[in-house]
Amino acid sequence: MKKLCKYGTHRVIEPVGILPQAALIIDSTPVCYDNECLIEVDTLNIDSASFHQIKEACNQDVELMKEMILSIVKKQGKMQNPVTKSGGMLIGTVKETGKDFSGKDLKPGVKLATLVSLSLTPLHIEEIISINITNEQVKIKGQAILFDSGIYAVIPNDLDEKFVLAALDVAGAPAQVRKLAKLNDTVFIIGANGKSGMLCALEAKNQVGPKGRVIGLVRKQEQVEALESLHLFDTIIVESATNSIEVYEALSKVTNGELADLTINVVNTENTEMTSILCTKELGIVYFFSMATSFTKAALGAEGIGKDITMIIGNGYTKNHANITLEILRGNKQLFELFMSRYA
């Protein structure tokens, strides 16, 4: 047996020497080593960009989607979409912990949600039971490994576990918004209709105050009414996020040319980097939380139009992000009930 590593390098098969997220193949044998936690998996929450790509590639055929997911996991030992490179997260029950595993609150039988990506999590699937094509959740029979460095959240007793899974899958975004949005800011959210978009809007609203503005972008007119009923946005623009000039002109109009202090990109499609950059004022901030973001397109695109802005690649983790996100949801009855109806 190789020397055990808290970051899981002992599970890497190819190429040797790198960490599990970047590896092409990892060992998913469902055996608990001394510094690991073995989880009996109930549900996978596939990353939005990944799920969208799989759904489109399979023409929304659930049986074909099952085959694709099984093929990815069998080949790589983890659920890492080879196109988007993203994963997701899971919920399950602790089956066993190794004697050197540091999470002493995890005992057999404890329900938990992993807060690390499926793109680095050793995963063994025996069977895909069902796929919910509307909320990106995949019910399986299988096992997963949590490394000693892996973060997690024990499922609160008073909340539905699938509700918690959906919320914590994007917990990094609203928690980061709490740090980034300032009093009186104009915040522009690209992908406003998704769960991360709504959570970010709620937290941005809390931070910018009555003189600040939160503006959302959605692709379809029929999405506007539901969002308006939540009172999360001051203005909602309807346009495709890939139509950069049209979105820029629309935002410029509603802000009297001032644009956004903070732009948050949580849309699950490609080629939206320049929309984010154009819509942000000089010396403003763009927060790219979308897994469809291309660093090359963002970096060279900003250079190409001479835009001096700070661009942040979304870190799925920030301190206390799980507690912060559940706190945000508990504080808004309407959004809480919407999440319950969609994901529980």
Tell me: the pLDDT tens digits for 260-317?
999 999 998 899 999 999 999 999 999 999 888 899 999 999 999 999 999 999 888 8
Q: How confident is the model at residue 26 (pLDDT cuts 50, 70, 90)?
A: very high
> What does pTM read for this prediction?
0.83
Q: Is the pLDDT of residue 342 over 90?
A: no
- Provide the pLDDT for residue 318: 85
CA nearest neighbour of 287 among 220, 162, 196? 196
Beta strands 280-288 and 260-265, pairing class: parallel
In CATH terms, is domain 172-343 a member of 3.40.50.10490? no
Cis peptide before 108 (omega within 30 of 0): no
CA–CA gap between residue 152 and residue 138 (Å, rounded): 19
- Segment 200-224 shows an average pLDDT of 95
Q: Is the pLDDT of residue 1 over 80?
A: no
CA nearest neighbour of 298 among 314, 284, 283, 313? 313
Q: Is-contact 138 69, C-beta < 8 A?
A: yes
pLDDT tens digits, 28-49: 999 999 999 999 999 999 998 8
- Provide the pLDDT for residue 290: 84
Q: Looking at the domain 9-168, which fold is it?
A: Quinone Oxidoreductase; Chain A, domain 1 (3.90.180)
- Provide the pLDDT for residue 291: 81
Helix (H, G, I), strand (E, B) or coil at 129: strand
Domain ranges of the chain: 9-168, 172-343
Asked if domains 9-168 and 172-343 share a fold, the reply is no
Alpha helices for 111-171 (secondary structure H):
161-168
- Segment 133-147 shows an average pLDDT of 95
Higher pLDDT, 238 or 136: 238
Cis peptide before 30 (omega within 30 of 0): no
Residues in the chain: 344
- Segment 231-247 shows an average pLDDT of 96
> Between vectors from CA 133 to CA 132 and to CA 137, what angle results, nearest 5°?
45
First to last CA, the chain: 41
Helix (H, G, I), strand (E, B) or coil at 143: strand
CA–CA gap between residue 132 and residue 128 (Å, rounded): 11
Q: Is-contact 199 167, C-beta < 8 A?
A: yes
The DSSP secondary-structure symbol of 44 reads E
Q: How confident is the model at residue 211 (pLDDT cuts 50, 70, 90)?
A: very high
